[in-house]
Amino acid sequence: MRVVIFILLLSLSTGSFASGNDWNYQNEGPDVWSDSYPLCAARLQSPIDIKTACTKYLSYKPFQFTEDYSMVHNFTLQNNGHTIVGTWNASYSASLKLVGGDLNGSFDFVSFHLHWGENYRSGSEHQVNGNKYAGEIHFIYMNPKTHQVAVLGIFMESVRNLTINETVEKTARSPSYTIDEWKRYFDVAQYLKKPDNTTNLSLNLSSLMGDSLNDFWRYEGSLTTPPCTEGIIWTIFREPIVFTESELESFRTNVYFEDYRDPQPFNTTEMPIELFIFVTTALVVPHAVFGELWNYGDLGPDVWSDTYPLCASRSQSPINIKTACTTFQPFLPFKFSSSYSKTNNFTLQNNGHTIVGQYFGNDTASFNLTGGALNGTFRFVNFHLHWGENYKSGSEHQVNGKKYAGEIHFVHRNPDTGQIAVLGMFMESVRNFTIHETIEKAAKVSVTTVNEWKRYFDVAEQLTQYENKTVLNLNLVSLMGDSLSDFWRYAGSLTTPPCTEGIIWTMFRDPIIFTESELASFRTNVYFEDYRGPQPLYDRIVYRSFENETLSTIPEYNCCSGASKIPLELLPCIAMKFLLLLFSHVSK
């Protein structure tokens, strides 16, 4: 099972992971790494979300570090184009040895580096039950005989939103010499702003690691950066080290804005889900209010709940639709009134987060939508897009973990009940299709639809500033395309603050295709990205309108929670869950 990696030897011992410019955390970000580095799409990738209830207790021997750890050494800190890498002269670093922790043999210290994020609630690569920390420290080790690589990972917690008492309590858990040593590190490292910037700093590795090295999680994964080589032994310590927000901020501002990869699918069973009763709250029209209280960067989705508590509640959107876990239900088809199929004038306006299209006229009431198991008659409110940093990210919803390049929302409202219903469509970029694939995909989307969106982009891409607006005549039926019979349905929320719940979601299965240049024009001219990632499903049921569903090729996504009906083909997954349960009882 263990993979011996010879190629790694070179790049690891020089302390920098491939310093080329062919990948980054933006337009060439994690979602497209696998285009150039196929391993990044393999099955044992890191990081992962550690679901604590699914871990198994094992008794490990403690880690043992050689005496050199507690001495001060002259480290080289270098900006490698992605992070700051700390190395010690290779011939000496052999004396920084690590044994124990059930690692096979003796490991030499190679280097250490940090991952951080756009705000104090994001930045760690690993997550614990879906919680992110503000950052993550990686200490890389290698066994010189077997070339086995092992990484020790420690979470970085920001004290930004702790009360004084909490700060005192948390800080007491990290020794003061650890806090001081990291302060010395940040004072210097924050000035290594450009690739290849280098400096020397004397550091005590033992101080940097802190003293909470007993409790950890262990699994086998990969490098979290290209080439995503697998066969890496991961040790993630449970106890984080505390940092001030200004330390993290200094890296965000000076070095790189963010440099972390999201959790990858992990072959395990799912946690049991608690029962929860769904409560509908007051409804607000999406995107109606513009304020500087949220965005998709420093005030991004992970911190929205600071200002908008609803964003942390339990019926949030978007979600990852696990196709195997959906429940079939026949729906009456959607019925659109004749105004939908006429050409009408629409106002397109930049609202600070996206471009919102609203009907320009005074007979809004003529846009009636019925059917699709919606209660009553709904009226068209607006349509807008969400997109992302590259052609493999941008959709808010995901299907078995797959993101599309964007997502279109047609927002509707029932004037009698105030109920909001959103019809969502995936946008697929043809960027990496072969000619053959493009023709095949194009055959599924009508030429009228493709052309109508082209007209939209030609105009909308010029609305680069907040409040820029224009009028364009468009045909809603053309924009929606004609694959409206197969969809998923669930109860969710607005995907932007205030994250109001009680929204009826319809996500159509078949995407509409777009050229990469259309999406790139928004990325470059309007906003770089504007999408929220999937939220926990909890006990909600996702219905599908079509009978036959295909399962995911990723086994994890075929494991369903208790709330939904579990198809027969998933029984092996359930059986494994029981086996694991048995096993965990036996080993206690």
Task: Write down the H helix ranges in 301-353.
Answer: 304-307
Q: Which pair of tokens denotes residue 19? A: 């310093």
> Is-cis flag, bond preceding 265, omega within 30?
no
Binding pattern to ligand NAG, positions 86-125, x when CB under 6 A?
----------------------------------------
Least separation in angstroms between residue 471's CB and ligand NAG is 6
CA gap 402, 159 in Å, rounded: 34
Nearer to ligand NAG, 102 or 416 (CB): 416
Piece of 125-133, 229-237, 311-319, 467-475 that binds ligand NAG (CB under 6 A): 467-475
CA distance 588 to 586: 6
The stretch near ligand NAG (CB under 6 A) out of 195-203, 222-230, 490-498, 526-534 is 195-203
Residue 417 beta carbon to ligand NAG: minimum distance, rounded to whole angstroms: 5
Looking at the Cβ atoms of 70 and 345, the one nearer to ligand NAG is 345
Beta bridge partners of 97: 108
The Cα-based distances of 526 to 347, 460, 518 in angstroms read 16, 9, 12
| Binding-site member from 13, 26, 28, 35 for ligand NAG (CB under 6 A) | 35
Only segment of 182-190, 225-233, 325-333, 373-381 that touches ligand NAG (CB under 6 A)? 373-381
The pair phi, psi for residue 188, each rounded to 5°, is -95, -50
The contact pattern for ligand NAG, residues 204-223, with x = CB under 6 A and - = no contact, is --------------------
Burial class of residue 86 in the structure, from the number of CB atoms within 10 Å of its CB (0-12 exposed, 13-18 middle, 19+ buried): buried
Strands 469-475 and 378-387, sheet pairing = unpaired
- Other Cβ atoms closer than 10 A to 26: 15
Of 361, 415, 418, 536, the residue at the interface with ligand NAG (CB under 6 A) is 361
What are 14's two structure tokens?
């020089």
- Under rule CB under 6 A, which residues in 247-306 are in contact with ligand NAG? 267, 306
- Is 485 near ligand NAG (CB under 6 A)? no
**548 part of the interface to ligand NAG, by CB under 6 A:** yes
Supply 86's token pair. 């700390």
Radius of gyration of the chain (CA): 25
The residues that bridge with 28 in the sheet, in sequence order, are: none
The reply to whether 472 sits near ligand NAG by the rule CB under 6 A is: no
State yes or no: residue 462 binds ligand NAG (CB under 6 A).
Answer: yes
**Nearest to 149, CA basis, from 183, 118, 103:** 103
Q: Which residue has the tokens 């197969």?
A: 486
Residue 366 interacting entry, from ligand NAG, Zn ion, none, C-beta within 5 to 8 Å by type: ligand NAG
Comparison of 150 and 325: residue with beta carbon closer to Zn ion: 150
Closer residue to ligand NAG in complex, CB, 142/192: 192
Pairing of strands 72-79, 406-413: unpaired
345 near ligand NAG (CB under 6 A) = yes
In whole angstroms, the minimum distance from the beta carbon of 285 to ligand NAG comes to 19
> Of residues 55, 64, 104, 161, which one binds ligand NAG by CB under 6 A?
161
**127: Cβ contacts below 8 Å, ≥ 6 apart:** 47, 48, 49, 50, 263
Query: What span, in angstroms and rounded, lies between the C-alpha atoms of 406 and 393?
Result: 7
CB of 521 to ligand NAG, least distance (A): 13
Nearest distance, CB of residue 164 and ligand NAG, angstroms = 7
Site string for ligand NAG, 525-544 (x = CB under 6 A): --------------------
Q: What phi and psi values does residue 16 have, to the nearest 5 degrees? A: -130, 135
**Residue 167 CA neighbour count, 13 Å, CB half:** 11
- Binding window for ligand NAG (CB under 6 A); candidates: 102-110, 315-323, 371-379, 518-526: 371-379
User: According to the binding rule CB under 6 A, does residue 547 interact with ligand NAG?
Assistant: yes
Could you say which of ligand NAG, Zn ion, none residue 579 binds, taking C-beta under 5 to 8 angstroms by partner kind? none
- Amino acid identity of residue 16, one-letter, is S
Closest residue to ligand NAG in the complex (CB): 555
Pairwise CA distance, residues 393 & 153, whole Å:
27
Q: Does 365 engage in binding with ligand NAG (CB under 6 A)?
A: yes
**How far, in Å, CA of 114 to CA of 134, rounded?**
11
User: Residue 358 carries which DSSP code?
Assistant: E
Closest contact distance (angstroms) between CB of 531 and Zn ion is 9
**Which DSSP letter does residue 61 get?**
P
Tally of CB atoms within 10 A around 468:
15
Rounded-to-integer distance, Cα 467 and Cα 451, Å: 26
Report the C-alpha gap between 203 and 420 in whole angstroms: 57
Of these, 64, 343, 451, 517, which contacts ligand NAG (CB under 6 A)? 343
**Which residues lie near Zn ion (CB under 5 A)?**
138, 409
Each residue 488-527 as x (binds ligand NAG by CB under 6 A) or -, in order, gives ----------------------------------------
Q: Please identify, using beta-carbon distances, which residue of 171 and 377 lies nearer to ligand NAG.
A: 377
Does residue 165 interact with ligand NAG by CB under 6 A?
A: yes
191 binds ligand NAG (CB under 6 A): yes
Q: In which residue are the tokens 């021997």 written?
A: 61
DSSP state of 57: -
Tell me how crowded residue 194 is: count the other CB atoms within 10 A of its CB: 9
Figure out which of the listed residues 167, 337, 483, 515 binds ligand NAG, where binding follows CB under 6 A. 337
Provide the binding-site residues for ligand NAG, judged by CB under 6 A.
35, 74, 161, 165, 191-192, 194, 197, 200, 202, 267, 306, 337, 343-345, 361-362, 365-366, 368, 375-377, 416-417, 432, 462-463, 465, 468, 471, 473, 547-548, 555, 573, 576
